[in-house]
Structure 1
């Protein structure tokens, strides 16, 4: 069985590498010529632990190829995974133009029965509309070929995407075709053998599971962040509160870590899309709407926390602030919708100078933050960013930030404020002794 993957972003590239490691012949297609050239040389355009090694291994074995030709992928593949982007539009809905382009290409080049697997996150009802649209295109072209459409949402955590693809928490397959179901079971046979939970549903249910999962986690994060703001005012400790809550197996401790707000390529986009789905079906989703508002409030609260501690006469003019971490989480270079963007923007608006360091996120920031990049100083290390700074703001909990000569860091600074927005050092006596220490959710 030959597999084609349309799109080489996080989802497409990771799944292409993993499926080829299972012994399948996989061809990945992208319109970006430079990206394909790098991939053909075994160089991953994204930072994801373990991905580049997997890519190079499959390339050496001849199981993984890359191309810019949609015709090649479609005609040589039995199963075609759609893994193109579905970015948010201004109204919160998903932009499906890239998906539409893929379906048109499939209709143009189809040369036999195909199983089309929707891996991209798409609004509920999209997979069925894809099936109808493709049938219409094939009928108009008087084609005798047919295809079955499957919704198979991904649940990859950035920074752990390869591990999640190799050992998923569950596999959701939405289809009403027994032939397509059997095909996916063949592809995922290794997961069946390892007793990974499988759930078979219709198309709409599979699509909804993805949005429901991400929306629920966003709600959980916003909930604990709101409690953190209250805890600071009443003298409670949010970490102990989260621990106490998490001991209840109905709640669990996962996603109860207070911080500057959620970000990344999934939660902000998927919660907005979920609201859009609700509105289009005459349902106002109050809880999800509140979670989005609470997340925006949390980022503003972090700006206010820093400003209240450092400002003189209501301004941060003349202050230099070191930002440690730009990516929305550690072990990824993804800065999309990262809280660091809003917080840096807020500090700059108040007149601060900003030094930044991130182990992986700076190249993307330089490329994407063109509006105020000339006011950001990108540094070679976290220690360099702290020199002559009035404060350090820890934005992302990269493990390397733990290992420092804190007295030396403090000595090079002009001020001594340390804003730990991830609560990494709440029990570190040396950090608390060296700095005026501010955490999230404790007084």
Structure 2
């Protein structure tokens, strides 16, 4: 098929590259001339595993091209995807300005029988607005046909987006006419090999589905973090508790890992947009608001722990930060907990040294002229650091040389925001360990655990002794 993708950001590029890889002729459109020139030369504007290789291969094969002109791109297009960003407004609502502007331009250039697919995450009812814009434009122009429109939300996780597109767990298509369903079913056939991935529904339900999924994921993250904090206050082990939760088939094991909270481009903005949407229909959305609050509070909890450790005297202290992206596998720092922490530390007068394997440039751009010292490697961050905060679970941070870390640092406290380490391991090297979800530092927690272990061993010993005595008694008295 001839496919046009308007918007060459994260979703648009992954969509365009993977559809070209499947044998379609794809034209990607973006208003940024520099980005289009870079993409034409095979250079990605962001980091995503496997994507650059596909980009280069499809450009070389002639199946993927880039342009700044919607009119030029359309040609004989069978399908056009709208993958324009919908960032949050100051009130949390989705900003649809660029998306609707693209729809107005598209209306003057769309060919007959072309299906318009909204890939962007948009509030319920947006596809209807776009349909009206397109129909008005085509009636004024040379076309008079009724526009066929569909909602096709993306479910791509940053860091594994190519894998998610090639082998999706579901392909959601919302439409109200057979033509749109038929065209998109054919387009996605290479990604639906077992025939069970397509989920067909009405447009409004498809629009809402994306928000529903992200809200549920955000809920699990905030819930486990809230449970973790409560467990820590009661000297209970959240890791042991998580094993119990994961053993329940009704709950499952996904997203049950306590940490500093969610970030990125999707969960924070989509939750805010859904709360705003709830207000428009006079729904309270109490749980959605609580999810959001817990996530923001989790960041404050980490900064409070660092400040408390230094007795509210952070000025002049050197804090190392491992990890800047909101999660591993991406250079995305949007709503990243690391940037929130860095801002708080700098405002408190601390000296911040930071390292990330791919996200340094994005973090520099996001933090602007904030005074942060970026290091070329993880160990360089530790040099004379009074404390180290581990903010992203990159693989290289999973098993560092703790002996060298302890040697390099001036202090000995590791603030483990992702729960990567065992307190016992760090203590062998003279390092203290703070994990979010505990009201005590790791050493105290380990002593509590050891005391509990001794108590239980004594209890079992008494029980075994009692059972032995009872057995002997049975031998004497039948």
Could you tell me whether the CA contact under 8 Å between 1:425 and 1:431 is conserved in 2? no
**For 2:195 and 2:344, how far apart are their aligned partners in 1?**
48
Asked if 1:127 is matched to 2:123, the reply is no
Is 1:319 the equivalent of 2:317? yes
- Is 1:2 aligned with 2:2? yes
CA distance in 2, matches of 1:283, 1:156: 29
TM-score w.r.t. the length of structure 2 is 0.89
Aligned twin of 2:240: 240
CA–CA distance in structure 1, aligned partners of residues 428 and 343 of structure 2: 27
CA distance in 2, matches of 1:405, 1:134: 59
The equivalences for 1:413-428 within 5 A come to: 413-426=409-422
Give SS of 1:173's match.
Answer: strand
The corresponding residue for 1:338 is 336
Q: Tell me which residue corresponds to 1:217.
A: 217
The residue number in structure 2 matching 1:389 is 385
Alignment partner, residue 104 of structure 1: 104
The alpha carbon displacement at 1:142 in A equals: 5.7
Following superposition, the deviation at residue 433 of structure 1 comes to 3.5
Provide the C-alpha distance between the structure 1 equivalents of 2:288 and 2:253, rounded to a whole number of angstroms: 20
1:328 counterpart = 2:326: yes
Equivalent-residue separation in structure 1 for 2:76 and 2:385 (angstroms):
57
Partner secondary structure for residue 15 of structure 1: helix
What is the rounded CA distance, in whole Å, between the counterparts of 1:434 and 1:266 in structure 2? 39
Aligned match of 1:360 = 358
Q: What TM-score do the two structures reach when normalised by structure 1?
A: 0.96
Q: Tell me whether 1:348 sits opposite 2:346 in the alignment.
A: yes
Aligned 8 A contact 2:402 2:429 in 1: no
Distance 1:428 1:58, change over 3 A: farther
Give the drift of 1:349.
2.0
1:147 corresponds to 2:147: yes
Q: Hey, what's the Cα distance between the residues in 1 that align with 2:129 and 2:10?
A: 25
Q: Counterparts of 1:427 and 1:213 in 2: how far apart (Å)?
A: 35
- Rounded to whole Å, the distance in 2 between the matches of 1:384 and 1:195 is 51
Deviation at 1:247, TM superposition (A): 1.2
Inter-CA distance 428–109: structure 2 relative to 1 (3 Å threshold): farther
> Could you tell me how far 1:430 is from its partner in structure 2?
4.7
**CA root-mean-square deviation:** 1.4
- C-alpha separation in 2, matches of 1:269 and 1:66: 28
Aligned 1:370-389 pairs, distance under 5 A: 370-372=368-370, 375-389=371-385
> Residues of 2 paired with 1:434 and 1:161: CA distance?
40
Tell me, yes or no, if structure 1 residue 296 matches structure 2 residue 292: no
Between the aligned partners of 1:84 and 1:185, the Cα distance in structure 2 is: 22
Q: What is the count of residue pairs matched by the alignment?
A: 439
* Gap runs ≥5 in structure 1: none
Which residue among 418, 432, 439 is the counterpart of 1:436?
432
Contact 1:107 1:137 in 2 (8 A): yes
Contact 1:321 1:392 in 2 (8 A): yes
Quickly say closer, same or farther: Cα 1:148–1:38, change in 2 above 3 A: same
- The separation in 2 between residues aligned to 1:244 and 1:66, in whole angstroms, is 51
Q: Partners of 1:66 and 1:427 in 2: how far apart?
A: 51
**For each residue in 1:79-113, what CA deviation from the matched residue of structure 2 results, as whole angstroms up to 9, or x when unmatched?**
00000100000111100011111111111112322
Over 3 Å counting, the alpha-carbon distance change for 1:396 and 1:52 in structure 2 is same
SS in 2 for 1:252: coil
- State the distance in 2 between where 1:142 and 1:15 align: 30
Matched, 1:63 2:59: no
1:259 is matched with: 259
Larger radius of gyration: 2
- 2:187 matched to which residue of 1? 187
2:419 & 2:427 partners in 1: Cα distance?
12
Residue 203 of structure 2 corresponds to which residue in structure 1?
203
Q: Distance in 2 between matches of 1:184 and 1:80?
A: 11
The answer as to whether partners of 1:406 and 1:431 remain within 8 angstroms in 2 is: no
Give the Å deviation of 1:428: 6.5
The answer as to whether partners of 1:239 and 1:441 remain within 8 angstroms in 2 is no
Q: Distance in 2 between matches of 1:14 and 1:91?
A: 29
Query: CA separation of 1:164/1:432 partners in 2, compared to 1, >3 Å: closer, same or farther?
Result: farther
Asked if structure 1 preserves the Cα contact closer than 8 Å seen for 2:323 and 2:356, the reply is yes
Q: Deviations over 1:196-235 (max 9, x none)?
A: 4221111100011100000111011111111111122111
Contact 1:420 1:437 in 2 (8 A): yes
- Which stretch shifts more, 25-34 or 339-348? 339-348
Q: CA deviation at 1:384?
A: 0.6
Asked if 2 retains the 8 angstrom alpha-carbon contact of 1:26 and 1:65, the reply is yes
Residue range with higher mean Cα deviation, 340-349 or 298-307 = 340-349
- Larger displacement relative to structure 2 (400-409 or 66-75): 400-409
Aligned counterparts of 1:428 and 1:19: Cα–Cα separation in 2: 49
- Corresponding position of 1:16: 16
Rounded to whole Å, the distance in 2 between the matches of 1:147 and 1:25 is 22
